[in-house]
């Protein structure tokens, strides 16, 4: 007789394993089968890409899955994202504009060695009672109201199992997406290559300048996800808990063709030309140079038409969609998917009708994705514009912390009333949030032709902008649903004022409009002087505190370091 499970999860990577743990924690007697096609343990140091977490996923791992103990013992703390921008002299790291905090962050995140992590998660899921089979490749799913049949192969034999639910976590294998043909192209064409080196690499060691070295608290550069950036690309340096280092190049082929980076040798030659200091510090040092692997991924972004069905199937992680790694959001989307999918599964197994919920969760996820696309689309072309990137990154953090993070830490994504109040209707806060973000992302593109200066020798701490620091800290506060709605509404007012102030500065620089003009946030766009004055005359007046904050991020009045 075929074995029957409540949930079958093809794909035992990050998404599948965390989904199993989340379900088991909520309902210990739920029966789960996880099928993983890899037939051995994951390799420490050089398993998969996706080694940096940000705040939403960190909350998921630490609080929802209760992985604090593991993360603190075996993985590294992460001290945010740190950027080094374009200069005329990339040989000297302290000559670059550096963007990162000077003090340890209050809100935690982690750098992950994916091999160590996935081995631990597989062990933990089994301790909680899930079955986990290595060397098991899911081949076919036949849907039925009596229970879905899944066929997998193991040791050259086909085995049939029945699952009330199928949760596809096969990553780019995309089992269900292929079967049901709900693939969707994503209009965002960027490529990535990456490799791991044995040993620790600390960017602090890349200069002898003691003032530069001691300008911030110790180890903040080492524990950050470090980005070296210029037009069309960024290079990452990420430390791993296994004492190895991950290096990657992410590049828009319109500026840096894939064929220039798609082998290790070509990547080194590309670094020598575009990031000479990185080349010097990362190049092979002879026999046994510590190269652990080298991987490439062409056009990594992909979209999906479906995610969750009341017919008792769903997809999670990269089996659904993937946008861009710039802000390390992959695990955030896993946290969101697993939260929606596990809620549907648990309610359905408890006998609840989930038709409406499945549809609302799917729409919420798809529109969340839609709101996030403009953050990345065409933006690699701005990566050589330091001033624009400083403002853009700060804006992107502001929108991320003030709304989605706060909603996630407050369990709002499964609260139907809150979702309806926030997102239903054309004038809802959620719709305004999406529209305001889109306006700003378009403004950054339009600004490019007016921002021509190359800056150097400056340090910008994002948390000198007080609204940003506050948004980040506030995501840890728990609110009652009513208070949460009020908090989101208050945050939207701050975002509108931030948008207005950024626009005032940009429009003054580009079009010569007054720095104290009123601004209507939902009409932001670089127009002629006459149109601007007309459109914005009944808009928001300047807010002195926000103005002060934006000035902190304004390099034209830069802070010289040394
Ligand atoms: C360049 C780049 C950088 C990134 N950086 C970050 C980052 O810093 N932070 C972050 O959070 N995310 C990052 N990501 C995203 C991150 O890699 C993914 O979100 C994450 O790995 C997806 O996990 P997953 O479990 O969905 O897929 P995977 O990790 O790919 O797991 C899928 C599993 O399914 C198995 N499988 C496949 N087909 C079958 C089958 N038919 N049967 C059984 N098993 C199967 C595979 O062996 C695999 O183990 C990055 C992505 C890219 C491309």
* 442, pLDDT greater than 80: yes
Average pLDDT over residues 303-320: 98
Pocket of ligand 1 contains residue 438 by CB under 6 Å: no
Domain closes at, from 279, 300, 321? 300
Least confident of 22-26, 37-41, 286-290, 494-498: 286-290
Pocket of ligand 1 contains residue 107 by CB under 6 Å: no
**Distance, CA 267 to ligand 1 centroid (Å)?**
23
Contact 383, 230 (CB under 8 A): yes
pLDDT at 285: 73
Name the pLDDT band for 463 (thresholds 50, 70, 90): very high
Domain closes at, from 265, 300, 335? 300
Nearest residue (by CA) to ligand 1, atom 26, is: 317
- Please indicate, yes or no, if residue 511 is contained in any of the structural domains: yes
Nearest residue (by CA) to ligand 1, atom 27, is: 171
Name the pLDDT band for 424 (thresholds 50, 70, 90): confident
Long-range contacts of 396-399 (CB under 8 A, 24+ apart): 396/327, 397/462, 397/468, 397/471, 397/472, 398/467, 398/468, 398/471, 398/495, 398/498, 399/433, 399/437, 399/495
Both tokens assigned to 323: 């946008």
Work out how many domains the chain is built from and give that number. Answer: 2
Average pLDDT over residues 23-52: 96
- Please indicate, yes or no, if residue 515 is contained in any of the structural domains: yes
Q: Which secondary structure element, helix H or strand E, spans residue 440, and what is its range?
A: helix 429-447
Q: Is 75 exposed, middle or buried (CB count within 10 Å of its CB: 0-12, 13-18, 19+)?
A: buried
- Please indicate, yes or no, if residue 474 is contained in any of the structural domains: yes
Pairing of strands 148-154, 157-168: antiparallel
Q: Are residues 418 and 531 in the same domain?
A: yes
Q: Which secondary structure element, helix H or strand E, spans residue 499, and what is its range?
A: helix 481-511
Pocket of ligand 1 contains residue 115 by CB under 6 Å: no
Which of these, 220, 255, 271, lies nearest to 90 by C-alpha position?
271
Pocket of ligand 1 contains residue 36 by CB under 6 Å: yes
Q: Are residues 289 and 390 in the same domain?
A: no
Name the pLDDT band for 425 (thresholds 50, 70, 90): confident
- Please indicate, yes or no, if residue 68 is contained in any of the structural domains: no
Both tokens assigned to 249: 């190049």
Which of these, 437, 435, 301, lies nearest to 380 by C-alpha position?
301
Residue 57 CA, closest ligand 1 atom number: 11
What is the rounded CA–CA span in Å between residue 499 and residue 288? 51
Distances (CA, A) of 325 to 52, 117, 193, 234, 328: 9, 19, 12, 10, 5
Q: How far is CA 190 from the centre of its chain?
A: 15
* 289, pLDDT greater than 70: no
Q: Are residues 276 and 393 in the same domain?
A: no
**Distance, CA 318 to ligand 1 centroid (Å)?**
6
Average pLDDT over residues 302-323: 98
Q: What is the pLDDT of residues 523-534, one digit of tens each?
A: 999 988 888 888
pTM over the 0.85 mark: yes
- Please indicate, yes or no, if residue 317 is contained in any of the structural domains: no
Which of these, 324, 311, 447, lies nearest to 388 by C-alpha position?
447
* 294, pLDDT greater than 80: yes
For the chain, helix, strand, coil in percent to 5 are 45, 20, 35
- Please indicate, yes or no, if residue 71 is contained in any of the structural domains: no
How would you label 358-367 residue by residue, b for 16+ Cβ within 10 Å and e otherwise? bebbbebbbe
pLDDT at 286: 66
Q: Are residues 93 and 232 in the same domain?
A: yes
Name the pLDDT band for 558 (thresholds 50, 70, 90): low
pLDDT at 561: 43
Pocket of ligand 1 contains residue 138 by CB under 6 Å: yes
Q: Are residues 255 and 393 in the same domain?
A: no
Q: What is the CA radius of gyration of the chain?
A: 24
Pocket of ligand 1 contains residue 20 by CB under 6 Å: no
DSSP-based three-state secondary structure for 374? helix
Contact 115, 477 (CB under 8 A): no
What is the rounded CA–CA span in Å between residue 371 and residue 477? 24
Q: Are residues 535 and 418 in the same domain?
A: yes
Mean pLDDT of the chain: 95
Nearest residue (by CA) to ligand 1, atom 2, is: 325
Nearest residue (by CA) to ligand 1, atom 29, is: 13
DSSP-based three-state secondary structure for 559? coil
- Please indicate, yes or no, if residue 393 is contained in any of the structural domains: yes
What is the rounded CA–CA span in Å between residue 388 and residue 278? 24
Pocket of ligand 1 contains residue 320 by CB under 6 Å: no
Nearest residue (by CA) to ligand 1, atom 41, is: 138
Q: What is the pLDDT of residues 114-147, one digit of tens each?
A: 999 999 999 999 999 999 999 999 999 999 999 9
What is the rounded CA–CA span in Å between residue 417 and residue 132? 37
Pairing of strands 291-297, 191-198: antiparallel
**In a mutational test of the pocket of ligand 1, which residue from 58, 135, 173 has the highest number of ligand atoms less than 8 Å from its CB?**
173
Nearest residue (by CA) to ligand 1, atom 30, is: 171
Place of tokens 């939207």: 492
* 426, pLDDT greater than 90: no
**Distance, CA 408 to ligand 1 centroid (Å)?**
22
What is the rounded CA–CA span in Å between residue 557 and residue 484? 37
Q: Are residues 281 and 395 in the same domain?
A: no
pLDDT at 533: 84
Q: What is the pLDDT of residues 320-357, one digit of tens each?
A: 999 999 999 999 999 999 999 999 999 999 999 999 99
Contact 494, 468 (CB under 8 A): no
* 536, pLDDT greater than 90: yes
| Rounded-to-10 torsion of CA 367, 368, 369, 375 | 120
Beta bridge partners of 191: 251
What DSSP assignment string belongs to 326-366?
Answer: TT--HHHHHHHHHHHHHHHHHHHHTT---HHHHHHHHHHHH
**In a mutational test of the pocket of ligand 1, which residue from 49, 122, 267, 341 has the highest number of ligand atoms less than 8 Å from its CB?**
49
Residue 173 CA, closest ligand 1 atom number: 38
pLDDT at 445: 98
pLDDT at 530: 82
Which of these, 556, 189, 544, lies nearest to 377 by C-alpha position?
189
pLDDT at 562: 38
Phi, psi of 540 (to 5 degrees): -75, 135
Both tokens assigned to 270: 């590309």
Pocket of ligand 1 contains residue 295 by CB under 6 Å: no
Pocket of ligand 1 contains residue 232 by CB under 6 Å: no
- Please indicate, yes or no, if residue 311 is contained in any of the structural domains: no
Average pLDDT over residues 153-171: 98
pLDDT at 560: 42
* 42, pLDDT greater than 90: yes
Place of tokens 């609260």: 415
Pocket of ligand 1 contains residue 337 by CB under 6 Å: no
The CATH number of the domain holding residue 263 is 3.30.9
Q: What is the pLDDT of residues 205-230, one digit of tens each?
A: 999 999 999 999 999 999 999 999 99
**In a mutational test of the pocket of ligand 1, which residue from 119, 246, 318, 376 has the highest number of ligand atoms less than 8 Å from its CB?**
318
Pocket of ligand 1 contains residue 299 by CB under 6 Å: no
Contact 291, 313 (CB under 8 A): no
| Domain that residue 241 falls in | 76-102+189-300
**Distance, CA 146 to ligand 1 centroid (Å)?**
31
Q: Are residues 419 and 524 in the same domain?
A: yes
Domain closes at, from 255, 285, 300? 300
DSSP-based three-state secondary structure for 29? coil
Q: Are residues 265 and 392 in the same domain?
A: no
Q: What is the pLDDT of residues 75-107, one digit of tens each?
A: 999 999 999 999 999 999 999 999 999 999 999
* 559, pLDDT greater than 70: no
Average pLDDT over residues 246-253: 98
Contact 290, 154 (CB under 8 A): no
Which of these, 250, 254, 255, 252, lies nearest to 267 by C-alpha position?
250
The more confidently predicted of residues 380 and 560 is 380
What percent of the chain has pLDDT above 70? 98
Nearest residue (by CA) to ligand 1, atom 53, is: 300
Q: Are residues 393 and 276 in the same domain?
A: no
pLDDT at 502: 98
Pocket of ligand 1 contains residue 14 by CB under 6 Å: yes
How would you label 496-513 residue by residue, b for 16+ Cβ within 10 Å and e otherwise? bbbbbbbbbbbbebbeeb
Q: Are residues 403 and 549 in the same domain?
A: yes
């Amino acid at each position: 007789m075929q074995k029957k499970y409540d949930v079958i999860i093809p794909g035992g990577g990050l998404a599948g394993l965390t989904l199993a743990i989340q379900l088991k924690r909520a309902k210990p007697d739920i029966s789960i089968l996880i099928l993983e096609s890899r037939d051995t343990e994951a390799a420490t140091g050089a398993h998969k890409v996706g080694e940096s977490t940000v705040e939403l996923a960190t909350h998921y791992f630490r609080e929802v899955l209760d992985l604090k103990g593991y993360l603190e013992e075996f993985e590294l703390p992460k001290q945010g994202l740190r950027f080094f921008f374009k200069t005329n002299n990339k040989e000297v790291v302290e000559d670059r504009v550096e963007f990162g905090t000077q003090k340890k962050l209050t809100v935690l995140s982690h750098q992950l060695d994916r091999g160590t992590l996935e081995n631990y998660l597989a062990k933990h899921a089994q301790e909680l009672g899930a079955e986990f089979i290595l060397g098991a490749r899911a081949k076919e799913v036949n849907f039925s109201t009596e229970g879905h049949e899944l066929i997998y192969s193991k040791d050259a034999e086909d085995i049939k199992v029945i699952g009330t639910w199928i949760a596809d976590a096969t990553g780019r294998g995309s089992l269900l997406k292929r079967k049901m043909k709900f693939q969707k192209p994503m209009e965002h064409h960027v490529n990535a290559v990456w490799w791991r080196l044995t040993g620790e690499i600390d960017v602090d060691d890349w200069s002898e300048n003691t003032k530069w070295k001691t300008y911030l608290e110790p180890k903040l550069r080492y524990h950050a996800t470090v980005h070296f950036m210029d037009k069309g690309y960024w290079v990452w340096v990420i430390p791993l808990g296994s004492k190895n280092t991950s290096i990657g190049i992410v590049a828009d082929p319109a500026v840096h063709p894939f064929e220039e980076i798609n082998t290790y040798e070509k990547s080194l030659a590309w670094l020598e030309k575009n990031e000479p200091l990185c080349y010097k510090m990362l190049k092979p040092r002879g026999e046994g140079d510590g190269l652990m692997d080298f991987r490439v991924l062409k056009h990594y972004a992909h979209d999906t038409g479906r995610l969750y069905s009341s017919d008792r199937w769903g997809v999670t992680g990269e089996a659904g969609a993937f946008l861009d790694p710039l802000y390390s959001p992959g695990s955030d989307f896993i946290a969101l998917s697993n939260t929606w999918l596990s809620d549907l599964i648990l309610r359905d197994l408890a006998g609840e009708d989930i038709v409406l919920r499945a549809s609302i969760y799917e729409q919420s996820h798809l529109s969340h994705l839609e709101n996030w696309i403009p953050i990345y689309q065409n933006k690699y072309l701005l990566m050589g514009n330091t001033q624009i990137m400083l403002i853009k990154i700060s804006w992107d953090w502001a929108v991320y912390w003030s709304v989605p993070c706060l909603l996630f830490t407050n369990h709002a994504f499964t609260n139907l009333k809150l979702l309806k109040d926030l997102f239903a209707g054309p004038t809802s806060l959620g719709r305004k949030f999406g529209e305001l973000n889109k306006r700003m992302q378009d403004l950054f593109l339009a600004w490019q032709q007016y921002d021509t200066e190359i800056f150097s020798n400056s340090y910008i701490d994002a948390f000198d902008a007080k609204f940003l620091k506050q948004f980040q800290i506030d995501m840890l506060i728990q609110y009652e649903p009513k208070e949460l709605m009020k908090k989101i509404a208050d945050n939207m007012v701050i975002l509108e004022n931030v948008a207005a102030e950024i626009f005032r500065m940009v429009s003054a620089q580009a079009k010569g409009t007054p720095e104290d003009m009123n601004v209507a946030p939902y009409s932001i766009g670089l127009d002629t002087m006459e149109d601007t004055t007309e459109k914005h005359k009944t808009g928001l007046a300047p807010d002195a505190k926000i103005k002060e904050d934006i000035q902190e991020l304004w390099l034209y009045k830069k802070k010289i370091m040394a």
